[in-house]
Chains A and B, each alone.
Chain A
Amino acid sequence: MKLDFPNVGETLHHHILDNGLSVYLLKKTGYEKTFATFTTKYGSIDRRFKLEDWVEVPDGIAHFLEHKMFEKEEGDIFQKFGRQGASANAFTSFTRTAYLFGATSNVRENVNTLLDFVQTPYFTKESVEKEKGIIGQEIQMYQDNPGWRLFFGLIEAMYDTHPVKIDIAGTIESISEITAEDLYVCHQAFYHPSNMALFVVGNIEPDDMMELIRDNQSSKSFEEPTLRAREAIDEPVAVRLAERVIEMDVSVPKVMIGYKDVPQAGEVGLKQELTVELLMHALFDTTAPLYTELYAEGLIDDAFSFDYTSEETFAFAALSMETPQVDAFVERVTSALERPLHLGQETLDRKKRMMQGQFLKALNSPEFIANQFSRYALNGGNLFDIPDLIDAITLDELYESYERLFRHDQRTVCIVRKP
């Protein structure tokens, strides 16, 4: 099938600066807002790495560092963005930390502020201690969230040694050990420009913006990168535990069924991600035979969702549902996935059209473009390859993915229910 997308109607500018920083600029005609993300390939899984020697840092430190970057000798950077009319934020994931702002005025000042504050570490003993109370409350808040407990319960049961199983924010005990010195070490190791990507999208003139970024970066000096290696992770493809039950005071039981996959990096990883996503759409969308069957029996409904997580060193599919009939749901879904796959060309073609549409719709959002593009770029892929990669997916590839992924020993079931 040929999909006629003359283009997605976007032009991307890309430069790698002398200091190694990757800069991506995309003009969105007619948009009022400019949105920028400054992302480092550093997340919660980077807990052991080699500088001169191997270093091990407390769990939750990447997230802690993200919080502390906003506090400077001159004051709180949130306030500075606010005075410049920008709304700033940041997030830490398993593999990345991103700092971002959206602004409809003072865009040049805000881009400079973003670059400067992320590249200027300033940590004191007092401010580190103070943050422990705030992050402690953040951890407690997530502890009361059944969805979060379910997700981490699943990953924790699936993985043997991979640090993905550790909560991104760490624990109240682990963060109590964090010191200002630890933060400086991590900043120096992972916030080097060569480990980062800057994405600016929206109401910009790419040439002017590029010049501003060059000027900003050439006015600073950076030492050679200190990071020599990240810990290699030796993780079997079989899961650690087949089942895990978390007791919590919830009104409706919640369940996640996870299937651990073999991770892939770069363009291959992106291709695998899209193939598995398409496969999951074909298997679990409301139009799928399994859905129709389970819906008629009252075992599946709007609360059902599915997702595929794919990074360089870990990948897994997760199906999520809340229902009083958790056991029946699990039994029906898992036994269906043990049967051979039956999928025709017609379904493949329809799912392709569907995924092409989803991608085009997502391009309305500057936030989607900047966040997802940075994610792929730091993993060695290109977001705008997606339409072609979807187009190229074959039935054989879907069958291969099905065989590889939905195996009994790669499956974990995690349930949150009342004691």
Chain B
Amino acid sequence: MKGIEQFEHQLHYSVYPTKKFKTTTCLVSFAAPLTQDTVAGRALLPFIMEKSTATYPSIELFHTPLEELYDTNLYAGASKIGKEHVIQFQLEVVNDNLVGESVLSQAIKLLEDVLLRPNAYDGAFQPLIVEQERRLQRQRIESVYDDKMRFAQQRLQEMLGGELAIPSLGTLEQLDQVTPKSLYDAYQSMIQDDRVDIYVVGDVSREQVEQAFEPLESLGARRPRHLPEASKGEFKRLEEHQDIKQSKLHLAYSLDVDPRTEDALRMQVVNGLFGGFPHSKLFMNVREKESLAYYAASQFSSLSRKLFVYAGIDSTNQQKTEQIIEDQLKAIQAGDFEDETLQQTKELLFHQRRQLGDNPRQLIAWMSGADVRPFSLDEEMAIIDHTTREHIVALAKEMELEAVYCLKGGER
């Protein structure tokens, strides 16, 4: 993306100054290695930190100034990205010139408050708040069961092992081990040891950003990025039953493609032909030709080096659907696709990239991923453009089916 300024002090900054939005969006991201021991505490931390601070020690007190500031959003969240666990704080503020007040500087002070002055005393968060949020987190972990697509994908990832198997909120047992004290230690570790990246998109200059985030400059540590290695286990298959109407068929293919290479981008073309779009083979055959599903799609996760396929089907059609999916991959491996379809796939991949700059949050998400990939947006598009049939066939041939999971409904 042209116009993104990157610079470092203690922290790493990416700033995109633009007047085209009504808002300015800031993201402060803390990254640490993903481990079983720390995930439950780190996943709980943002839910506590976003609700109150030492200065504003209740939700009501803290949210009142956010409402006053034209509904400034201040969200925190945690996710796993490859081999890292990332806690992010996002601030979205209406531009000063639209309301004739200096909203941004006041909002950044509130963000600073969240990060530097948490609602904690004597090395521990408030026990009552921790209990409350632990109860909620337990409920969140349990309610994955109610979203069958998520449930099936989580089960599939557990079958694959490694980082993929670590649930992003931790397990119920791990959550029970968290204490107000251990949580505060997790907070300390986050602000001292994590790699801190700051992203800003909106009507600001580099100087303004440097000045605004100066108080955070004492945070964090230089840490290298942790990328997952290639991993491939034995083929596994698992079927489970629940009282549901539609069965969920999820597949994982693995292949050894480094996420920093051109091949990782070319895989987006392979995925586009296979199941990424409404013109893809999976949609055209599983849905349009055979009427077996409402959705049948694929997604390539370059960091984990896996391609996932999912379809919602009638349980009696499982074998047939698996066969069709296999046939579609074989067709790509045999080079059996039209030039026109290939071009269409590339056009849509271009479109996805060109429109990134129209949405501040998408743009920030891309900016943070781009730290891993060595390519600019234009370079990415050139690589996609120059992806040949030979590239595609070779990559498709490397894909190996590693796991099949089916959550079955209907008669047992």
Contacts and interface: CB of A to CB of B under 8 A. Distances in A.
Nearest to A144: B244
A365 B362 CA distance: 12
Interface string A260-297: 00000000000000000000000001110001100100
Interface string B42-76: 00000100000000001110011001111111000
B132 A298 contact: yes
A104 B360 contact: no
Given A286-B60, A292-B60, A249 B243 contact: yes
B94 A104 contact: no
A8 B139 CA distance: 41
Contacts of B18: 30
B335 to A, nearest CB: 20
A265 to B, nearest CB: 28
Given A82-B344, A85-B348, A322-B139, A354 B71 contact: yes
B245 interface: yes
Nearest to A366: B358
Interface stretch (B142-150, B300-308, B322-330, B397-405): B142-150
B59 A295 contact: yes
A358 interface: yes
B287 A5 contact: no
Contacts of A143: 245-246
A105 B72 CA distance: 34
A84 B350 CA distance: 11
Interface string B132-155: 100110010011011110000000
A9 B409 CA distance: 52
Interface string B67-109: 1111111000000000000000000101000111000000000
Contact of A144 (B139, B245, B354): B245
Nearest to A77: B278
Nearest to B246: A140
B134 to A, nearest CB: 11
A216 interface: no
Interface in A56-83: 76, 78-79, 82-83
Contact of B293 (A102, A134, A302): A134
A251 B143 contact: yes
B294 A141 contact: yes
B236 interface: no
A87 interface: yes
Interface size class of A (residues with CB under 8 A): 35 or more
B359 interface: yes
Interface of B: 18-23, 47, 58-60, 63-64, 67-73, 92, 94, 98-100, 132, 135-136, 139, 142-143, 145-148, 242-246, 277-279, 287-288, 291-295, 312-314, 340, 343-344, 347-348, 350-352, 354-355, 357-360, 409
Interface of A: 3-6, 8-9, 28-33, 76, 78-79, 82-88, 102-105, 130-135, 137-138, 140-141, 143-146, 202, 249-252, 285-287, 291-292, 295, 298, 301-303, 322-324, 350-351, 353-358, 360-361, 363-366
A287 B351 contact: no
B355 A104 contact: yes
B99 A5 contact: yes
Contacts of B94: 357, 360-361
A295 B131 CA distance: 12
A358 B94 CA distance: 9
A417 B344 CA distance: 46
A360 B67 contact: no
Nearest to A4: B100
A32 B358 contact: yes
The 7 closest A-B pairs by CB, nearest first: A357-B70, A133-B291, A30-B20, A357-B71, A104-B354, A85-B347, A138-B294
Nearest to B67: A354
B312 to A, nearest CB: 5
Contacts, number: 186
Contacts of B143: 251-252, 322
B106 to A, nearest CB: 13
B274 to A, nearest CB: 15
B63 A83 contact: no
A98 B410 CA distance: 34
A353 B146 contact: no
A252 B136 CA distance: 11
B325 to A, nearest CB: 16
8 contacts: A33-B355, A140-B314, A350-B64, A353-B68, A357-B69, A357-B94, A360-B23, A361-B71
Contact of B294 (A85, A135, A146): A135
Nearest to B135: A298
A322 B21 CA distance: 35
B70 A137 contact: no
A377 B373 CA distance: 44
A343 B101 CA distance: 26
Given A137-B313, A364-B360, A32 B354 contact: yes
A284 to B, nearest CB: 12
Nearest to B64: A287
Given A105-B350, A361-B22, A365-B359, A249 B312 contact: no
A242 to B, nearest CB: 25
Contacts of A133: 291-292
Contacts of B351: 85-87, 102-105
A249 to B, nearest CB: 5
A250 B142 CA distance: 9
A140 B20 contact: no
**Among A84, A131, A141: residue with most chain B CB under 10 A:** A141
B380 to A, nearest CB: 14
A141 B358 contact: no
A116 to B, nearest CB: 18
A354 B70 contact: yes
Given A144-B409, A252-B146, A354-B70, A287 B355 contact: no
A362 to B, nearest CB: 9
Contacts of A303: 136, 139
B72 A357 contact: yes
B294 A134 contact: yes
A360 B98 contact: yes
Given A249-B242, A364-B21, A87 B67 contact: no
